[in-house]
Structure 1
Amino acid sequence: MNLFQRNVFLHQRKALGFIYNIGIDIAHFGLKCASLFNEKIKKGVVGRQNTFKTLESHLKPNDKTLWFHCASLGEYEQGLPVFKELRKLYKHHKIVLSFFSPSGYEIRKNSPIADVVIYLPLDSKKQAKRFVNLVNPELSIFVKYDIWPNLLNELKRKKFRAILISAAFRKNQTYFKFYGAELRRALFTFEHIFTQNDTSKALLESINYNKVTVSGDTRFDRVSSQLELNNNLPFLETFKDNKLCIVAGSTWPDDENVLINYINSCKHKNVKFIIAPHNIKASQINNIQEKLNTKSVLHSKKNDKQLINAQVFIIDTIGILTKVYSYANIAYVGGAMGHTGLHNTLEPAVFGVPIIIGPNHEKFPEAKAMITINGMFSISNQQEFNSVLDELILNKVKRLSCGKNNSDYIQKNKGAVIQIIDYLRI
């Protein structure tokens, strides 16, 4: 690169950096305005106002610290097996856990894995410097994405280590576009990136980032560890009553319409259904119950008599879905009938059950893999749903075989955590 080209490059980088920082200021203003009308956004705005006060009250200048960052709850669950191992390795360090989304913070604000749980401040230069000066993390772990240039550049400037784990990249992302210089530069602040697949590694190498290891997805380790826990829920033992049970997890209205139509016309005796809606607002729960033509019971209002007599159990609480899947003979995972995004299909797969999903799963490689091995079935309409579910209910041999395909898939893809921890021990 000659002097002229270098000057052009530097001017372009400054311009893109300026645009990025202006964008952060606009986002800050936009979130404040939106918080007046959206309760979830309001929680994030108010929570971020307390971030620095919380850090100042929990951290001392001489504390040794680690920083774990997750965009939301899914990334937290993905990173948890790595966090647990690091907690063992760094017993005398304080751990700061940050979330960007209220859906992560509100559910895991009391996580035992961390000493301090906070909302991540917006990525302005001023706040990035203040945050890093307060936390002083010897090691920072980012999970999958949510890459913030100013924070990462400040870590790099102060010579703190930063690792990205379970990263998954796609060709159409900003990092690989001509206008993505600022985000692309942020990737180079990571000491090492552990990717989920070879495609992600190849994309990184295409921009000359070469400190990459294909370790796989830490979610496989996370869901596998669920088998070592006590998954018993006595009230579900009573409800299931040794009958065949279909568990529908993280459902949205598009999913629930298909499920309710099936339940209302179900001709199979001794089949029970558990529905765990993504939205547990009273109005949504009431809407489900009103549409059902059969007896249903809510988790919040359960008693033994209702449990035994009901055909449908509705989970109107959070935090137990993973255990609920252990009672499934067949699982349906929501999000892909509409465009909200397919929810975690690995959680039921680890229990060795066949899984049904909607058609919109293009961005979920684990779904594609389980469809290929005949453990998962993608349906597009009511007729297809009825046909697939009827066959799985009536054909026990197929049901068990498909479920085993899924559990084998989970076991074959474990091991990402070992690779990451071995690297960090060096």
Structure 2
Amino acid sequence: MFAFFYTLGLHLLVFLANIVALFHPKTRKWVEGQRAKSKKQGAKGKGQEAKGKGQRAKKDLAFRGMMPVRESKVFWVHAASLGEFEQGRPVIEAIRAEYPHARIVLSFFSPSGYEIRKDYDQVDEVCYLPVDTPRNVKRFLDSVQPDVALFIKYEFWYNYLHELKKRQIPTFLFSAIFRPNQLFFKPYGGFYRRMLFCFNEILVQNEASKHLLNSVGYASATVAGDTRLDRVVQIAKQAKSYPEIEAFKGTDPLLVIGSAWPDDMEVLIPFLNQWEAPLKVIIAPHEINTEQIQQWQKALKKPSERFTVYGLRFGVDGTPLDILHSPLDILFLDTIGMLASLFRYADFAYVGGAFKDGLHNTMEPAVYGMPIFFGQPYYQKFQEALDLLQLGGATTIATTQEFTTAFTEVYQNLEIRQQKAGSCYDYVQKNAGATAKVMASIRSAF
């Protein structure tokens, strides 16, 4: 009964999304992506059915010793959005390295993931995940024919999970984290609990999550950690150099504000306007919106510029052009893909999102070792944020005054700054290695 109403609700969601798409660009991209995937699957349907029969015949012949077995594994990896993709990227690339002939299909639910990573070269296909209706699920799985299904952090789709279990396809959830207030652990959460038992194994970030799963009878939980730590270690090793940023920073301390939302800037702009000691600042908005950046520039009393404009001061080789310019204190990052590498130049980091939508990736600055700040209260579901607060490497603030007090302390006291930086760096190094544990679980499926 619950499954019927769940599927009915999804049909209603699609209907409403088609209406919202008329006015909302992001929703429109999602709707268009769903339509494109549906047409593609429809076109492949008959051919895939014939191909499936042929493959079954080959397997039968191979079983009887009449022909050699030489087949590639098929991995289906699903990420809700861009953040989950970056979290799962070390696993995808480990699969590609260990199974070079495998076919890897990467699906996204959100346009923010698909649009940015649709050309990702470590997989064979990138697509939107079709809406979780029984018909869509069967068509998708018939088309992909996965040998293993991998879900990153969360995304619990009832029909997909039950069909995967029905087909006896090994299914894993990794870098997962659970909290007591989730529906899985409520007396009335039986519908949601059934989805947990569709996973062959759930690899969680911490012991608390494992304990919660055990409390509802799920015994196949393993504490493996968070693959995001492996990703930031990987990024740090491959971090790009930016002569423009080196020139901008000079010899001054640098504060990098990553994934800034308007709520974050309401707290930070008054601080920046009253701060008098030497300090360079790079601000990376959560969403690149030129109009929003211009509004922030007007609110700031110090000279600022967008990176795409500032970059015109340099030649193609990164060397400064021989022209005069006014001093610059604040730089707005209006490009995609630079932020993770830019933290290498930072002395302090502020990570946005915790005032409203949810804290963004604190591990990106932590891997380089520096004091980290973020807002509140929406950081509680991020284990690494809680750990960094407990270790003293991070500080959470609610007001401009709180940030000013906390920042002044680490700016003026080098010993405290180094202690906080060391706590962040050591945390990442000690807790990396989740990818190897996920790969061990994948091997056990074959």
- Could you state the TM-score of these two structures normalised by the residue count of structure 1? 0.92
Q: Alpha-carbon deviation of 1:138?
A: 0.4
Q: C-alpha separation between the residues in 2 aligned to 1:323 and 1:409?
A: 19
Q: C-alpha separation between the residues in 1 aligned to 2:38 and 2:324?
A: 48
| Residue deviations 1:256-282 (CA, integer Å, cap 9, x gap) | 12222122111103x101000112111
Q: 1:116 to 1:369 in 2, by over 3 A?
A: same
1:395 aligned onto 2:381: no
Is the contact between residue 91 and residue 439 of structure 2 (CA under 8 Å) also seen in structure 1?
yes
Equivalence for 2:4:
18
Is the contact between residue 263 and residue 356 of structure 2 (CA under 8 Å) also seen in structure 1?
no
Equivalence for 1:407:
425
Q: Alpha-carbon deviation of 1:44?
A: 0.6
Q: C-alpha separation between the residues in 1 aligned to 2:326 and 2:102?
A: 50
1:331 aligned onto 2:340: no
| Residue deviations 1:71-92 (CA, integer Å, cap 9, x gap) | 0111111111111111122221
Q: C-alpha separation between the residues in 2 aligned to 1:126 and 1:291?
A: 52
1:322 aligned onto 2:331: no
Equivalence for 2:308:
300
Q: C-alpha separation between the residues in 2 aligned to 1:129 and 1:222?
A: 33
User: Structure 2 unaligned runs (5+)?
Assistant: 56-71, 314-322
1:283 aligned onto 2:269: no
Q: Alpha-carbon deviation of 1:252?
A: 0.8
Of the three residues 350, 370, 377, the one matched with 1:353 is 370
Q: C-alpha separation between the residues in 1 aligned to 2:283 and 2:267?
A: 12
Of the three residues 16, 26, 35, the one matched with 1:40 is 26
Is the contact between residue 176 and residue 184 of structure 1 (CA under 8 Å) also seen in structure 2?
yes
Is the contact between residue 255 and residue 348 of structure 2 (CA under 8 Å) also seen in structure 1?
yes
Q: What amino acid sits opposite 2:218 in the alignment? A: Y
Q: Alpha-carbon deviation of 1:54?
A: 4.5
Of the three residues 18, 30, 47, the one matched with 2:16 is 30
1:72 aligned onto 2:81: yes
| Residue deviations 1:383-407 (CA, integer Å, cap 9, x gap) | 1111111222222222122111100
Q: What amino acid sits opposite 1:51 in the alignment? A: K
1:201 aligned onto 2:210: yes
| Identity within the alignment, % | 41
Of the three residues 130, 134, 141, the one matched with 2:139 is 130
Q: Within 5 Å, give how 1:85-104 maps onto structure 2.
A: 85-104=94-113
Of the three residues 370, 376, 384, the one matched with 1:366 is 384
Q: Find the residue that maps to 1:137 and give its secondary structure.
A: coil
Q: What amino acid sits opposite 1:373 in the alignment? A: L
Q: Within 5 Å, give how 1:2-17 maps onto structure 2.
A: 15-17=1-3
Q: C-alpha separation between the residues in 1 aligned to 2:76 and 2:326?
A: 47
Q: 1:307 to 1:373 in 2, by over 3 A?
A: farther
Is the contact between residue 330 and residue 354 of structure 1 (CA under 8 Å) also seen in structure 2?
yes
Equivalence for 1:187:
196
1:425 aligned onto 2:433: no
| Residue deviations 1:213-253 (CA, integer Å, cap 9, x gap) | 11111111111112210331121011111211010000111
151-160 or 70-79, which deviates more: 151-160
Q: C-alpha separation between the residues in 2 aligned to 1:184 and 1:114?
A: 31
Q: Find the residue that maps to 1:309 and give its secondary structure.
A: coil
Is the contact between residue 251 and residue 278 of structure 1 (CA under 8 Å) also seen in structure 2?
yes
Equivalence for 1:81:
90
Q: Find the residue that maps to 1:409 and give its secondary structure.
A: helix
Q: 1:117 to 1:24 in 2, by over 3 A?
A: same
Q: What amino acid sits opposite 1:395 in the alignment? A: N
Q: Within 5 Å, give how 1:256-267 maps onto structure 2.
A: 256-267=265-276
Q: What amino acid sits opposite 1:211 in the alignment? A: S
364-373 or 299-308, which deviates more: 299-308
| Residue deviations 1:57-106 (CA, integer Å, cap 9, x gap) | 79964575210000011111111111111112222121110000111111
Q: Alpha-carbon deviation of 1:349?
A: 0.5
1:241 aligned onto 2:250: yes
Q: What amino acid sits opposite 1:259 in the alignment? A: L
Is the contact between residue 174 and residue 203 of structure 2 (CA under 8 Å) also seen in structure 1?
yes
1:376 aligned onto 2:387: no
Q: What amino acid sits opposite 1:40 in the alignment? A: K
| Residue deviations 1:295-329 (CA, integer Å, cap 9, x gap) | 11111111336887210010012211101111110
Q: Alpha-carbon deviation of 1:204?
A: 1.3
Q: Find the residue that maps to 1:335 and give its secondary structure.
A: coil
Is the contact between residue 297 and residue 307 of structure 1 (CA under 8 Å) also seen in structure 2?
no
Is the contact between residue 238 and residue 307 of structure 1 (CA under 8 Å) also seen in structure 2?
no
Q: C-alpha separation between the residues in 1 aligned to 2:130 and 2:257?
A: 36
Count of residue pairs the alignment pairs up: 410
Q: C-alpha separation between the residues in 2 aligned to 1:121 and 1:308?
A: 52
Equivalence for 2:65:
none
Q: C-alpha separation between the residues in 1 aligned to 2:325 and 2:421?
A: 27
Q: Find the residue that maps to 1:351 and give its secondary structure.
A: coil
Is the contact between residue 236 and residue 341 of structure 2 (CA under 8 Å) also seen in structure 1?
no
Q: What amino acid sits opposite 1:401 in the alignment? A: Q
1:340 aligned onto 2:357: yes
Q: Alpha-carbon deviation of 1:330?
A: 0.4
User: Structure 1 unaligned runs (5+)?
Assistant: 1-14
Q: C-alpha separation between the residues in 2 aligned to 1:65 and 1:399?
A: 48
Q: C-alpha separation between the residues in 1 aligned to 2:326 and 2:111?
A: 37
Q: Alpha-carbon deviation of 1:210?
A: 0.7
Q: Alpha-carbon deviation of 1:174?
A: 1.8
